[in-house]
Amino acid sequence: MNVSLCVFAKSVICVYLMLFSSLLLVTSAQAAIDIYTFEDDVQRLRYQSFIEELRCPKCQNQNLAGSDSPISADLRREVHRLIMEGQSDKEIIDFMVSRYGEYVLYRPRAQGATLILWFAPVLLLVLALVVVLGLFASKRRAAANQLSQQCSMSLCEAVDNGSNSGVALVEEEMAEQAAPQALSDDQRAKLNKLLNR
Residue 38, in any domain of the structure: yes
Mapping DSSP to helix (H, G, I), strand (E, B) and coil, where does residue 105 land?
strand
143 and 188 fall within a common domain: yes
92 and 127 fall within a common domain: no
How many other C-beta atoms are found inside a 10 Å radius of the C-beta of residue 76?
Answer: 20
Residue 40, in any domain of the structure: yes
Answer yes or no: is pLDDT of 130 > 70: yes
Residue 121, in any domain of the structure: yes
Q: Looking at this protein, which amino acid is placed at residue 95?
A: F
Number of structural domains found in the chain = 2
What is the percent of the chain where pLDDT is above 90?
16
pLDDT band at residue 159 under the 50/70/90 scheme: low
105 and 120 fall within a common domain: no
The per-residue pLDDT for range 58-100, each reduced to its tens digit, is: 887 888 888 888 888 899 999 999 999 999 999 999 998 888 8
Residue 8, in any domain of the structure: no
pLDDT for position 137: 84
Answer yes or no: is pLDDT of 125 > 50: yes
Domain boundary among 93, 109, 125: 109
Radius of gyration of the chain (CA): 39
104 and 42 fall within a common domain: yes
86 and 145 fall within a common domain: no
Residue 6, in any domain of the structure: no
3-state secondary structure 126-179: HHHHHHHHHHHHHHHHHHHHHHHHHHHHHHHHHHHCCCCCHHHHHHHHHHHCCC
46 and 94 fall within a common domain: yes
pLDDT for position 47: 92
Mean pLDDT of the chain: 75
CATH code of the domain containing 51:
1.10.8.640
Q: Does pTM top 0.75 for this prediction?
A: no
Mean pLDDT throughout 112-131?
80
Domain boundary among 109, 141, 161: 109
Q: Give residue 47's domain range.
A: 34-109
pLDDT for position 85: 92
61 and 121 fall within a common domain: no
What is the percent of the chain where pLDDT is above 70?
55
190 and 123 fall within a common domain: yes
50 and 97 fall within a common domain: yes
Residue 11, in any domain of the structure: no
Residue 150, in any domain of the structure: yes
166 with 188: CB under 8 angstroms?
Answer: no
104 and 142 fall within a common domain: no
The per-residue pLDDT for range 7-55, each reduced to its tens digit, is: 666 776 766 767 776 666 654 444 456 688 888 899 999 999 988 888 8
Residue 4, in any domain of the structure: no
